[in-house]
């Protein structure tokens, strides 16, 4: 069973428990997810089955869209509603205009300090294990790309925002840092992922609907989330090389890959002339050869 399910994860479920439920209902042993969601978060969780588990790494560069509710006036140690309140502040003078002005500093390419309650590792140990013992260590800031950040509503103490962002972005860190910038403290009180790459919450199914989704053909094909990659249609000789994992020169290819030297694509989808998805390729500009990155036939 090869393909991808668009799951709408419910509040309280872990991403691991969703994978376990899909494995149990599908009978497929190879099951994995892209883009972990915290138990308090809901929304789109792509779950890959069979050979589709090999495309998980390509999800990393896809944009994600979130709707977040930020509670101002209290900071927590986890940066979200599940944590212990570490301080409180006055929000009586915070206006919508002040919020908009503060949010401006979070747009574009920014740097974030990961929360202590995160899965990042310090000397081989997850930070959250240290945090639970009351140990705090220095965490270097990391770049994050915020493509869009819009204030939807301000009903004190709750600010509702939509965030479109790239990989490695902590929405909890935005909530915490916003509270710090306003001087009142803040934390994430609710979060829903509305989309992840081509997967949208409007088409998502719940864990309880997995069996029905599998039976009705709502399993997305392996190449569905790879549309952001370039495309190359190859001939029979190149197809044979791909099947053997060998580099090749393709002079009769069709599609956008005809001029790979001038393209911004780092990876390409390869198809046979009959439309069969074959592999993900890299183009070596030094040798002019196509190198199979992952073969799916």
Q: Is the peptide bond before 157 cis (omega within 30 degrees of 0)?
A: yes
List Cα–Cα distances, 90 to 74, 79, 139, 159, in angstroms.
9, 18, 28, 15
For tokens 């301080």, name the residue. Answer: 87
- What phi and psi, each to the nearest 5 degrees, are found at residue 208? -70, -15
- Residue 137, token pair as written in the block: 């260590």
Question: What does the alpha-carbon distance between residue 216 and residue 192 come to, in Å, rounded to a whole number?
Answer: 26
Q: 171-182 and 96-103 helices cross at what angle (nearest 10)?
A: 120
Q: What is the DSSP letter of 220?
A: B
For tokens 């050869």, name the residue. Answer: 289
**38 given a catalytic annotation:** yes
DSSP characters over 126-172: EHHHHHHTT-------EEEEEEEEEEEEEETTEEEEEEEE-TT--HH
List Cα–Cα distances, 190 to 79, 124, 197, in angstroms.
11, 30, 21
**CA atoms within 13 Å, Cβ hemisphere of 250:** 33
Q: From the candidates 2, 38, 61, 200, which is the catalytic residue?
A: 38
CB of 5 closer than 8 Å to CB of 49: yes
Residues belonging to the active site: 38
């Amino acid at each position: 069973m090869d393909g991808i399910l668009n799951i709408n994860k419910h509040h309280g479920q872990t991403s691991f428990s969703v994978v376990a439920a899909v494995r149990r209902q599908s009978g497929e042993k190879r099951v994995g997810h892209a883009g972990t969601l915290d138990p308090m978060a809901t929304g789109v969780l792509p779950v890959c089955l069979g050979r589709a588990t090999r495309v998980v790494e390509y999800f990393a560069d896809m944009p994600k869209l979130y709707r977040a509710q930020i509670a101002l006036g209290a900071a927590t140690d986890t940066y979200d509603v599940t944590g212990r309140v570490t301080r409180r502040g006055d929000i009586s003078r915070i206006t919508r205009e002040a919020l908009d002005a503060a949010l401006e500093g979070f747009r574009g390419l920014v740097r974030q300090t990961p929360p202590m309650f995160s899965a990042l590792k310090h000397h081989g140990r997850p930070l959250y294990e240290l945090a639970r013992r009351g140990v705090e260590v220095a965490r270097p800031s990391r770049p994050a790309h915020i493509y869009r950040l819009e204030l939807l509503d301000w009903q004190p103490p709750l600010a509702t925002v939509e965030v479109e962002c790239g990989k490695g972005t902590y929405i909890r860190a935005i909530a915490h840092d916003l509270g710090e910038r306003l001087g009142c403290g803040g934390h994430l009180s609710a979060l829903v992922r509305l989309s992840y790459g081509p997967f949208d919450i409007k088409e998502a199914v719940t864990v309880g609907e997995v069996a029905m989704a599998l039976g009705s053909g709502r399993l997305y094909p392996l190449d569905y989330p790879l549309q952001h990659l370039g495309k190359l249609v190859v001939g029979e000789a190149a197809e044979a090389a791909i099947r053997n994992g060998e580099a090749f020169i393709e002079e009769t290819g069709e599609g956008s890959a005809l001029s790979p030297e001038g393209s911004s694509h780092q990876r390409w989808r390869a198809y046979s002339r009959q439309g069969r998805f074959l592999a993900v390729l890299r183009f070596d500009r030094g040798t002019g050869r196509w190198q199979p990155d992952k073969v799916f036939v």
